[in-house]
Chains A and B, each alone.
Chain A
Protein backbone atom coordinates (compact mmCIF):
# COMPACT_ATOMS: atom_id res chain seq x y z
CA UNK A 1 0.00 0.00 0.00
CA UNK A 2 1.39 3.44 -0.74
CA UNK A 3 2.40 5.41 2.38
CA UNK A 4 -0.16 8.22 1.99
CA UNK A 5 -2.98 5.71 1.64
CA UNK A 6 -1.64 3.68 4.57
CA UNK A 7 -1.67 6.75 6.78
CA UNK A 8 -5.26 7.64 5.97
CA UNK A 9 -6.55 4.07 5.78
CA UNK A 10 -7.92 3.98 9.37
CA UNK A 11 -9.79 7.24 8.71
CA UNK A 12 -11.29 5.88 5.50
CA UNK A 13 -12.35 2.75 7.40
CA UNK A 14 -13.89 4.94 10.09
CA UNK A 15 -16.12 6.67 7.54
CA UNK A 16 -17.01 3.67 5.38
CA UNK A 17 -17.46 0.82 7.88
CA UNK A 18 -18.07 2.89 11.05
CA UNK A 19 -19.87 6.16 10.45
CA UNK A 20 -22.07 5.25 7.47
CA UNK A 21 -23.50 1.88 8.62
CA UNK A 22 -24.20 3.41 12.06
CA UNK A 23 -25.63 6.74 10.93
CA UNK A 24 -28.03 5.23 8.42
CA UNK A 25 -30.39 4.13 11.23
CA UNK A 26 -30.58 7.67 12.61
CA UNK A 27 -31.38 8.99 9.13
CA UNK A 28 -34.10 6.33 8.65
CA UNK A 29 -35.51 7.48 11.99
CA UNK A 30 -35.55 11.09 10.79
CA UNK A 31 -37.32 10.10 7.58
CA UNK A 32 -39.99 8.02 9.34
CA UNK A 33 -40.51 10.60 12.09
CA UNK A 34 -41.48 13.27 9.55
CA UNK A 35 -45.15 13.96 9.84
CA UNK A 36 -45.55 11.90 13.02
CA UNK A 37 -47.16 13.54 16.00
CA UNK A 38 -45.56 12.98 19.42
CA UNK A 39 -48.73 11.25 20.65
CA UNK A 40 -49.07 8.98 17.62
CA UNK A 41 -49.23 5.23 18.01
CA UNK A 42 -46.13 4.58 15.86
CA UNK A 43 -44.13 6.81 18.20
CA UNK A 44 -45.43 4.86 21.23
CA UNK A 45 -44.65 1.54 19.58
CA UNK A 46 -41.15 2.75 18.59
CA UNK A 47 -40.53 3.69 22.18
CA UNK A 48 -41.46 0.17 23.34
CA UNK A 49 -39.27 -1.42 20.65
CA UNK A 50 -36.32 0.86 21.50
CA UNK A 51 -36.67 0.01 25.19
CA UNK A 52 -36.78 -3.73 24.47
CA UNK A 53 -33.69 -3.52 22.21
CA UNK A 54 -31.90 -1.55 24.89
CA UNK A 55 -32.77 -4.27 27.43
CA UNK A 56 -31.38 -6.80 24.95
CA UNK A 57 -28.15 -4.79 24.66
CA UNK A 58 -27.86 -4.76 28.48
CA UNK A 59 -28.40 -8.54 28.68
CA UNK A 60 -25.88 -9.11 25.89
CA UNK A 61 -23.16 -6.95 27.46
CA UNK A 62 -23.53 -8.74 30.82
CA UNK A 63 -24.10 -12.35 29.71
CA UNK A 64 -21.82 -12.42 26.68
CA UNK A 65 -19.15 -9.93 27.70
CA UNK A 66 -16.12 -9.23 25.59
CA UNK A 67 -12.69 -7.80 26.37
CA UNK A 68 -11.55 -7.38 29.96
CA UNK A 69 -15.05 -7.91 31.39
CA UNK A 70 -14.94 -11.46 30.06
CA UNK A 71 -12.21 -12.26 32.65
CA UNK A 72 -14.75 -11.72 35.46
CA UNK A 73 -16.82 -14.92 36.05
CA UNK A 74 -20.45 -14.80 34.85
CA UNK A 75 -22.03 -15.26 38.34
CA UNK A 76 -20.02 -12.25 39.59
CA UNK A 77 -21.22 -10.11 36.67
CA UNK A 78 -24.86 -11.07 37.23
CA UNK A 79 -24.55 -10.65 41.00
CA UNK A 80 -22.99 -7.21 40.59
CA UNK A 81 -25.79 -6.01 38.30
CA UNK A 82 -28.35 -7.31 40.80
CA UNK A 83 -26.55 -5.51 43.68
CA UNK A 84 -26.50 -2.28 41.70
CA UNK A 85 -30.19 -2.51 40.85
CA UNK A 86 -31.26 -3.32 44.43
CA UNK A 87 -29.10 -0.46 45.73
CA UNK A 88 -30.80 1.88 43.25
CA UNK A 89 -34.25 0.78 44.51
CA UNK A 90 -33.28 1.07 48.19
CA UNK A 91 -31.28 4.31 48.10
CA UNK A 92 -34.00 6.81 47.15
CA UNK A 93 -34.00 5.68 43.50
CA UNK A 94 -30.64 7.32 42.95
CA UNK A 95 -29.14 6.19 39.65
CA UNK A 96 -25.66 7.22 40.75
CA UNK A 97 -25.89 5.22 44.02
CA UNK A 98 -26.96 2.16 42.01
CA UNK A 99 -24.12 2.46 39.50
CA UNK A 100 -21.53 2.98 42.27
CA UNK A 101 -22.87 0.00 44.27
CA UNK A 102 -22.84 -2.24 41.18
CA UNK A 103 -19.32 -1.15 40.33
CA UNK A 104 -18.17 -1.81 43.91
CA UNK A 105 -19.76 -5.27 43.88
CA UNK A 106 -18.03 -6.08 40.59
CA UNK A 107 -14.62 -4.94 41.88
CA UNK A 108 -14.98 -6.91 45.15
CA UNK A 109 -16.40 -10.02 43.46
CA UNK A 110 -13.86 -9.77 40.66
CA UNK A 111 -10.87 -9.53 42.99
CA UNK A 112 -12.14 -12.51 45.05
CA UNK A 113 -13.06 -14.85 42.21
CA UNK A 114 -10.92 -13.92 39.21
CA UNK A 115 -7.74 -15.85 38.68
Chain B
Protein backbone atom coordinates (compact mmCIF):
# COMPACT_ATOMS: atom_id res chain seq x y z
CA UNK B 1 0.00 0.00 0.00
CA UNK B 2 1.37 3.44 -0.92
CA UNK B 3 1.47 5.98 1.91
CA UNK B 4 -1.66 8.19 1.78
CA UNK B 5 -1.16 11.79 0.71
CA UNK B 6 -1.57 14.09 3.69
CA UNK B 7 -2.38 17.77 3.43
CA UNK B 8 -1.32 20.26 6.12
CA UNK B 9 -4.75 21.82 6.34
CA UNK B 10 -8.26 21.53 4.99
CA UNK B 11 -7.65 24.45 2.65
CA UNK B 12 -4.56 22.72 1.24
CA UNK B 13 -6.69 19.63 0.61
CA UNK B 14 -9.40 21.80 -1.00
CA UNK B 15 -6.76 23.32 -3.29
CA UNK B 16 -5.46 19.84 -4.05
CA UNK B 17 -8.97 18.99 -5.24
CA UNK B 18 -9.09 22.15 -7.36
CA UNK B 19 -5.81 21.15 -9.03
CA UNK B 20 -7.04 17.61 -9.69
CA UNK B 21 -10.21 18.97 -11.29
CA UNK B 22 -8.25 21.37 -13.49
CA UNK B 23 -6.07 18.55 -14.86
CA UNK B 24 -8.96 16.08 -15.22
CA UNK B 25 -10.31 15.11 -18.63
CA UNK B 26 -13.68 16.24 -17.28
CA UNK B 27 -12.48 19.85 -17.20
CA UNK B 28 -12.49 20.38 -21.01
CA UNK B 29 -15.41 17.94 -21.34
CA UNK B 30 -17.42 20.01 -18.84
CA UNK B 31 -16.73 23.17 -20.86
CA UNK B 32 -17.90 21.56 -24.10
CA UNK B 33 -20.94 19.86 -22.58
CA UNK B 34 -22.21 23.04 -20.93
CA UNK B 35 -21.60 25.11 -24.07
CA UNK B 36 -23.99 22.61 -25.67
CA UNK B 37 -26.54 22.87 -22.85
CA UNK B 38 -26.23 26.69 -22.87
CA UNK B 39 -27.05 26.73 -26.57
CA UNK B 40 -30.02 24.44 -25.96
CA UNK B 41 -31.35 26.69 -23.17
CA UNK B 42 -31.01 29.70 -25.46
CA UNK B 43 -32.85 28.00 -28.34
CA UNK B 44 -35.72 27.04 -26.04
CA UNK B 45 -36.06 30.56 -24.60
CA UNK B 46 -34.72 30.17 -21.06
CA UNK B 47 -32.75 32.93 -19.32
CA UNK B 48 -29.02 32.29 -18.75
CA UNK B 49 -29.58 32.79 -15.00
CA UNK B 50 -32.21 30.08 -14.97
CA UNK B 51 -29.66 27.76 -16.59
CA UNK B 52 -26.96 28.71 -14.05
CA UNK B 53 -29.36 28.01 -11.19
CA UNK B 54 -30.31 24.66 -12.71
CA UNK B 55 -26.60 23.77 -12.97
CA UNK B 56 -26.10 24.54 -9.28
CA UNK B 57 -29.31 22.86 -8.06
CA UNK B 58 -29.77 19.90 -10.40
CA UNK B 59 -26.08 19.33 -11.20
CA UNK B 60 -26.61 16.48 -13.66
CA UNK B 61 -26.27 17.15 -17.38
CA UNK B 62 -28.74 14.48 -18.62
CA UNK B 63 -31.43 15.65 -16.17
CA UNK B 64 -30.90 19.29 -17.19
CA UNK B 65 -31.31 18.41 -20.89
CA UNK B 66 -34.52 16.52 -20.10
CA UNK B 67 -35.82 19.38 -17.95
CA UNK B 68 -35.14 22.08 -20.55
CA UNK B 69 -36.66 20.06 -23.38
CA UNK B 70 -39.71 18.97 -21.37
CA UNK B 71 -40.59 22.45 -20.05
CA UNK B 72 -40.11 24.02 -23.48
CA UNK B 73 -42.23 21.41 -25.23
CA UNK B 74 -44.96 21.79 -22.61
CA UNK B 75 -44.87 18.27 -21.17
CA UNK B 76 -47.03 17.73 -18.11
CA UNK B 77 -45.48 18.38 -14.70
CA UNK B 78 -45.76 14.81 -13.52
CA UNK B 79 -44.33 13.45 -16.78
CA UNK B 80 -41.35 15.79 -16.53
CA UNK B 81 -40.71 14.96 -12.89
CA UNK B 82 -40.78 11.22 -13.64
CA UNK B 83 -38.42 11.56 -16.62
CA UNK B 84 -35.95 13.60 -14.56
CA UNK B 85 -36.17 11.19 -11.64
CA UNK B 86 -35.60 8.10 -13.81
CA UNK B 87 -32.47 9.68 -15.30
CA UNK B 88 -31.20 10.36 -11.77
CA UNK B 89 -31.45 6.83 -10.34
CA UNK B 90 -27.72 6.33 -10.93
CA UNK B 91 -27.01 8.97 -8.26
CA UNK B 92 -28.32 6.62 -5.57
CA UNK B 93 -25.78 3.76 -5.88
CA UNK B 94 -23.09 6.36 -6.63
CA UNK B 95 -23.72 8.15 -3.33
CA UNK B 96 -23.78 4.82 -1.47
CA UNK B 97 -20.42 3.83 -2.96
CA UNK B 98 -18.85 7.26 -2.40
CA UNK B 99 -19.98 8.59 0.99
CA UNK B 100 -18.47 5.80 3.15
CA UNK B 101 -15.08 6.71 1.62
CA UNK B 102 -15.50 10.26 2.90
CA UNK B 103 -16.70 9.47 6.39
CA UNK B 104 -14.22 9.13 9.21
CA UNK B 105 -14.71 8.77 12.99
CA UNK B 106 -14.97 12.56 13.42
CA UNK B 107 -17.36 13.18 10.54
CA UNK B 108 -20.77 14.72 11.35
CA UNK B 109 -23.79 14.36 9.11
CA UNK B 110 -23.68 17.99 7.99
CA UNK B 111 -20.11 17.53 6.69
CA UNK B 112 -21.54 15.08 4.16
CA UNK B 113 -24.35 17.35 2.90
CA UNK B 114 -22.20 19.17 0.31
CA UNK B 115 -20.54 16.01 -1.08
CA UNK B 116 -23.99 14.39 -1.26
CA UNK B 117 -25.31 17.23 -3.37
CA UNK B 118 -22.13 17.31 -5.50
CA UNK B 119 -22.52 13.60 -6.39
CA UNK B 120 -22.35 13.34 -10.19
CA UNK B 121 -20.48 11.24 -12.72
CA UNK B 122 -17.45 13.53 -13.05
CA UNK B 123 -16.75 13.92 -9.33
CA UNK B 124 -17.63 10.29 -8.63
CA UNK B 125 -15.15 8.94 -11.16
CA UNK B 126 -12.35 11.24 -9.97
CA UNK B 127 -13.15 10.74 -6.26
CA UNK B 128 -13.10 6.95 -6.50
CA UNK B 129 -9.78 7.28 -8.27
CA UNK B 130 -8.01 9.64 -5.87
CA UNK B 131 -9.70 9.41 -2.44
CA UNK B 132 -8.22 6.02 -1.42
CA UNK B 133 -4.76 7.63 -1.69
CA UNK B 134 -5.63 10.58 0.53
CA UNK B 135 -5.59 10.72 4.34
CA UNK B 136 -9.07 10.07 5.77
CA UNK B 137 -9.54 13.44 7.51
CA UNK B 138 -8.77 15.47 4.35
CA UNK B 139 -11.00 13.61 1.91
CA UNK B 140 -14.10 15.79 2.30
CA UNK B 141 -12.15 19.03 1.71
CA UNK B 142 -10.45 17.48 -1.33
CA UNK B 143 -13.78 16.31 -2.71
CA UNK B 144 -15.38 19.75 -2.16
CA UNK B 145 -12.49 21.45 -3.99
CA UNK B 146 -12.80 19.03 -6.88
CA UNK B 147 -16.58 19.43 -7.12
CA UNK B 148 -16.68 23.22 -6.72
CA UNK B 149 -14.24 23.56 -9.61
CA UNK B 150 -16.30 21.29 -11.86
CA UNK B 151 -19.55 23.05 -10.94
CA UNK B 152 -18.26 26.59 -11.47
CA UNK B 153 -16.72 25.57 -14.81
CA UNK B 154 -20.07 24.15 -15.88
CA UNK B 155 -21.99 27.25 -14.75
CA UNK B 156 -19.60 29.65 -16.52
CA UNK B 157 -19.57 27.71 -19.79
CA UNK B 158 -23.36 27.51 -19.71
CA UNK B 159 -23.28 31.31 -20.17
CA UNK B 160 -20.68 30.97 -22.95
CA UNK B 161 -22.89 28.49 -24.82
CA UNK B 162 -25.94 30.67 -24.28
CA UNK B 163 -24.33 33.63 -26.03
CA UNK B 164 -22.67 31.48 -28.73
CA UNK B 165 -25.92 29.68 -29.55
CA UNK B 166 -26.90 31.61 -32.65
CA UNK B 167 -23.62 30.83 -34.43
CA UNK B 168 -23.44 27.15 -33.58
CA UNK B 169 -23.64 24.84 -36.66
CA UNK B 170 -25.66 21.62 -36.19
CA UNK B 171 -22.68 19.29 -36.56
CA UNK B 172 -20.78 21.25 -33.93
CA UNK B 173 -23.76 21.07 -31.57
CA UNK B 174 -23.87 17.31 -32.23
CA UNK B 175 -20.18 17.02 -31.36
CA UNK B 176 -20.78 18.80 -28.03
CA UNK B 177 -23.56 16.34 -27.17
CA UNK B 178 -21.21 13.50 -28.12
CA UNK B 179 -18.70 14.60 -25.44
CA UNK B 180 -20.81 13.21 -22.58
CA UNK B 181 -21.04 9.54 -23.66
CA UNK B 182 -17.47 9.51 -25.03
CA UNK B 183 -15.90 10.87 -21.85
CA UNK B 184 -18.12 8.76 -19.57
CA UNK B 185 -17.02 5.60 -21.42
CA UNK B 186 -13.29 6.33 -21.37
CA UNK B 187 -13.12 7.59 -17.80
CA UNK B 188 -15.17 4.68 -16.48
CA UNK B 189 -12.94 2.20 -18.33
CA UNK B 190 -9.89 4.06 -17.03
CA UNK B 191 -11.13 3.65 -13.45
CA UNK B 192 -12.09 0.01 -13.91
CA UNK B 193 -8.99 -1.62 -12.49
CA UNK B 194 -10.95 -4.39 -10.83
CA UNK B 195 -12.45 -7.17 -12.90
CA UNK B 196 -15.83 -6.42 -11.31
CA UNK B 197 -15.88 -2.86 -12.67
CA UNK B 198 -14.90 -3.96 -16.19
CA UNK B 199 -17.57 -6.62 -16.16
CA UNK B 200 -20.23 -4.18 -14.93
CA UNK B 201 -19.27 -1.74 -17.69
CA UNK B 202 -19.40 -4.39 -20.41
CA UNK B 203 -22.67 -5.90 -19.14
CA UNK B 204 -24.30 -2.47 -18.95
CA UNK B 205 -23.33 -1.63 -22.54
CA UNK B 206 -24.82 -4.91 -23.79
CA UNK B 207 -27.88 -5.09 -21.52
CA UNK B 208 -29.33 -1.65 -22.22
CA UNK B 209 -29.91 -2.13 -25.99
CA UNK B 210 -31.21 -5.64 -25.27
CA UNK B 211 -33.74 -4.39 -22.70
CA UNK B 212 -34.82 -1.56 -25.01
CA UNK B 213 -35.23 -4.08 -27.84
CA UNK B 214 -37.35 -6.31 -25.60
CA UNK B 215 -39.37 -3.17 -24.71
CA UNK B 216 -38.92 -3.64 -20.99
CA UNK B 217 -39.75 -0.47 -19.07
CA UNK B 218 -37.31 1.18 -16.62
CA UNK B 219 -34.49 -0.13 -18.82
CA UNK B 220 -31.74 1.86 -17.07
CA UNK B 221 -32.75 0.65 -13.63
CA UNK B 222 -32.84 -3.00 -14.73
CA UNK B 223 -29.53 -2.60 -16.59
CA UNK B 224 -28.00 -1.46 -13.30
CA UNK B 225 -29.59 -4.12 -11.09
CA UNK B 226 -29.02 -7.08 -13.43
CA UNK B 227 -25.61 -6.04 -14.79
CA UNK B 228 -24.28 -4.82 -11.45
CA UNK B 229 -25.48 -7.85 -9.51
CA UNK B 230 -24.03 -10.27 -12.09
CA UNK B 231 -20.67 -8.48 -12.04
CA UNK B 232 -20.69 -8.46 -8.23
CA UNK B 233 -21.70 -12.15 -8.02
CA UNK B 234 -18.94 -13.23 -10.43
CA UNK B 235 -16.44 -11.19 -8.44
CA UNK B 236 -17.56 -12.89 -5.19
CA UNK B 237 -17.37 -16.36 -6.78
CA UNK B 238 -13.84 -15.74 -7.97
CA UNK B 239 -12.82 -14.49 -4.53
CA UNK B 240 -14.37 -17.56 -2.91
CA UNK B 241 -12.66 -20.10 -5.18
CA UNK B 242 -9.28 -18.42 -4.91
Contacts and interface: CB of A to CB of B under 8 A. Distances in A.
B112 to A, nearest CB: 6
B51 to A, nearest CB: 10
B187 interface: yes
B180 A61 contact: yes
Interface of B: 25, 28-29, 40, 46-47, 50, 53-54, 57-58, 60, 62-65, 67, 69-71, 77, 80-82, 84-85, 87-101, 103, 109, 112-113, 116-117, 119, 121, 124, 128, 170-171, 173-190, 192, 196-197, 199-205, 207-209, 212, 219-221, 223-229, 231-232, 235
Interface of A: 10-11, 13-30, 32-34, 36-38, 40, 42-72, 77, 80-81, 84-85, 88, 93, 95-96, 98-99, 102-103, 106-107, 110-111, 114
B224 A56 contact: yes
Contact of A55 (B174, B180, B201): B201
Contacts of A27: 116
A68 B177 contact: yes
A28 B96 CA distance: 9
A50 to B, nearest CB: 4
A28 B92 contact: yes
26 contacts: A16-B81, A17-B71, A17-B81, A25-B92, A29-B98, A29-B99, A29-B119, A32-B92, A33-B99, A47-B97, A48-B232, A50-B224, A52-B200, A54-B121, A55-B202, A56-B204, A61-B177, A62-B181, A63-B209, A64-B212, A67-B65, A67-B174, A68-B177, A85-B185, A106-B178, A110-B175
Contacts of A114: 171
A99 B182 contact: yes
A22 B228 contact: no
Nearest to B29: A99
Contacts of A59: 204-205, 208-209
Given A24-B85, A53-B204, A99 B186 contact: yes
B174 A50 contact: no
A69 B167 CA distance: 17
A110 B174 CA distance: 9
A24 to B, nearest CB: 7
B171 to A, nearest CB: 5
Contacts of A111: 171
